[in-house]
Amino acid sequence: MKLNTNSNIYTIVYAAVVVIIVAFLLAFASSVLSGRSNANEQNDKKKQILASLGERDVQDADVQTTYEKYIMADMIINDKGEILNEGKNKDKDGFAVARKGISKDCLPVYKCMADSVEFYVIPLVGKGLWGGIWGYMAVNGDGKTVKGVYFSHESETAGLGSLIKDDVNFQLQFNDKLLYDSTWNVVLTLKKNGLADKQSQTECDGISGATLTGNGVNNMIKEYLNLYKEFFRKNLEEKTVNQ
């Protein structure tokens, strides 16, 4: 008997069978590969954090040891500067917060140590011209100056906006800039290319041809520095009291 491949029942059964087979295949592939790709993602995140504090070009194999050398704890705080989670459980607290999970009541802070000097790394998340942008900013223990930054992006224009990630010199110019003035207003700004005052403590130069991406970076920095302001303020006050 020849099957009638045009009958309704055959069509429905065929579609169902195909979909079930494909679903099983995909589920299988996903569960086999998810371990590896998750590890890759975490490794990449650690690499970005390390890049922000000045350890660029870390080999994949050394990421874990370098990361552990610097990062003491991944805390979670809120925008009032209260520490909600001390982050002692290795990568399970602040580190586990995804970019989309960051809110004013859930702000990750990485507490770091280099040459027995304490400093902090905070995440930055914002919108570029075409898609999301993000970064990490290492802030010195005084809570007021930049130790280093790293930016990355989803889909900024290759060769223009994408330079926020690829142009190391663009990121390096943030080093030692001032974040807040004496009354804790955010003063760090990213100007349009060529407009920044080279002597200024607070101005950085944007990328030529990528003004809109630059605006995104500027807004992102402003927003997140405001969110973390209280934390740095309290932190500095405690330190001065202890001394």
Among 16, 29, 172, 195, binds other proteins (CB under 8 A): 29
Kindly state the smallest distance separating residue 217's Cβ from other proteins, in Å: 18
User: Based on the number of CB atoms within 10 Å of its own CB, is 238 exposed (0-12), middle (13-18) or buried (19 or more)?
Assistant: exposed
Contacting other proteins within 168-227 (CB under 8 A): 209
User: Based on the number of CB atoms within 10 Å of its own CB, is 134 exposed (0-12), middle (13-18) or buried (19 or more)?
Assistant: buried
Query: Cα(66)–Cα(53) distance, rounded to whole angstroms?
Result: 11
Q: Which residues pair with 107 in a beta bridge?
A: 77
Kindly state the smallest distance separating residue 99's Cβ from other proteins, in Å: 14
Total residues contacting other proteins (rule CB under 8 A)? 27
Among 82, 86, 142, 154, binds other proteins (CB under 8 A): 154
Among 89, 103, 155, 185, binds other proteins (CB under 8 A): 155
Q: Does 59 interact with other proteins (rule: CB under 8 A)?
A: no
Which residue, 21 or 117, has its beta carbon nearer to other proteins?
A: 21
Q: Which amino acid is at 97?
A: V
3-state SS track over 118-134: EEEEEEEEEECCCCEEE
Kindly state the smallest distance separating residue 84's Cβ from other proteins, in Å: 31
Among 66, 140, 145, 157, binds other proteins (CB under 8 A): 157
Q: Does 10 interact with other proteins (rule: CB under 8 A)?
A: yes
Among 44, 62, 237, 238, binds other proteins (CB under 8 A): 44
Kindly state the smallest distance separating residue 18's Cβ from other proteins, in Å: 6
Among 96, 106, 160, 236, binds other proteins (CB under 8 A): 160
Q: Which residues bind other proteins (CB under 8 A)?
A: 5-6, 10-11, 14-15, 18-19, 22, 25-26, 29-30, 33, 36-37, 40-41, 43-44, 154-155, 157-160, 209
